[in-house]
Amino acid sequence: IIQIRNDFDDFSRGRLQLQVSKKNNKTNKAIYLNLFLSHPMTLFLVMLSILGFCLVEFQFNTIVDLLRIQLIDRSNLSNILNLSERISPAEFLDHGQYWRLITPIFLHFGWVHLTFNMLWLWELGRRIENQFGSIHFISVVFFVSVLSNIYQTISTPLAFFGGMSGVVYGLLGYFAIFTLITPKREFILPSAIYILMLLALILGYLGVLPGMANTAHLTGLIWGCFIAIPSALLSRFFDSKIGNNS
- Which residues, other chains included, contact 227 with Cβ-Cβ below 8 Å and sequence gap of 6+? 140, 143, 144, 170, 174
**The pLDDT value given to residue 75:** 65
* Distance separating alpha carbons of residues 128 and 187, to the nearest angstrom: 8
Annotated catalytic, 165? yes
User: Residue 87 forms beta bridges with which residues?
Assistant: 71
pLDDT tens digit sequence for 22-55? 555 666 677 767 777 789 999 999 999 999 999 9
**The pLDDT value given to residue 199:** 95
Give pLDDT tens digits along the chain (246 positions).
556 666 656 655 655 555 655 555 666 677 767 777 789 999 999 999 999 999 999 999 999 999 999 887 766 655 665 666 778 888 889 989 999 999 999 999 999 999 999 999 999 999 999 999 999 999 999 999 999 999 999 999 888 999 999 999 999 999 999 999 988 777 888 899 999 999 999 999 998 988 899 999 999 999 999 999 999 998 888 777 776 666
Phi/psi of residue 20, nearest 5 degrees: -105, 120
**Contact in structure between 201 and 169 (CB atoms under 8 Å):** yes
Buried b (16+ CB within 10 A) or exposed e, 130-143: ebbeeeebbebbeb
* Distance separating alpha carbons of residues 51 and 57, to the nearest angstrom: 10
Residue 211, class by beta-carbon neighbours within 10 Å (0-12 exposed, 13-18 middle, 19+ buried)? exposed
Cα 95 to Cα 91, 100, 102, 142, 148: the distances in Å are: 7, 11, 16, 21, 21
**The pLDDT value given to residue 141:** 97
The catalytically annotated residue of 148, 165, 231, 235 is 165
CA nearest to 92, candidates 69, 110, 72, 58: 69
Annotated catalytic, 108? no
Buried b (16+ CB within 10 A) or exposed e, 172-197: bbbbbbbbeebebeebeeeeeeeeeb
Q: Where are the alpha helices (DSSP H) in 156-213?
A: 165-181, 191-206
The catalytically annotated residue of 145, 217, 231, 235 is 217
pTM: 0.82
